[in-house]
Amino acid sequence: MSVVEGADIDAEILDSCDVAGNFNTALIRELRRVAEPAQAPLADMHGRVLKVEIVDAIWGGNWFIEHTQTLRVRGALYQDGSRVSGFDGVMQGRGGGLTSGCFQMNSNFRALTWHIRRWLRNPVDGARIGQEG
């Protein structure tokens, strides 16, 4: 799991919430029956490979007035090094009163993993996955 260079992500989210690590763990858990995690350059991998990147993670608010968050990811499915299809994922919402922003952010990233697994059943190129609003 990587964060896109130049991504619009508050440093506090990266430093305090470990969104990349938690999203990676959640994605591995969600895909445990259909995939195995591996860290290697795409050129060195064979078979079907899924690459997912965090594009944006924007938040506002607090535990009292609730959190407003927008999360964006993108992913691509490769077959023996050639790109087969890709998706853009968005999770946007408001809520999480009386919870921390990190908890809410990581919960929304975990929810995105379900959408990614669903997309893998029929990986249509250019698909938009997730929930907005």
Domain that holds residue 17: 2-131
Contact (CB, 8 A) for 115 and 124:
no
pLDDT surpassing 60 at residue 99 = yes
Neighbour-count burial of 98, counting CB atoms closer than 10 A to its CB (0-12 exposed, 13-18 middle, 19+ buried): exposed
Which CATH number do you get for residue 103? 3.30.160
Quick: pLDDT tens for 108-121: 888 899 999 999 99
Task: Report how many domains make up the chain.
Answer: 1
Burial 59-93 (b: 16+ CB within 10 A, else e): bebeeeebbbbbbbbebbbbeeeeeebbbebbbeb
* Full-model pTM: 0.83
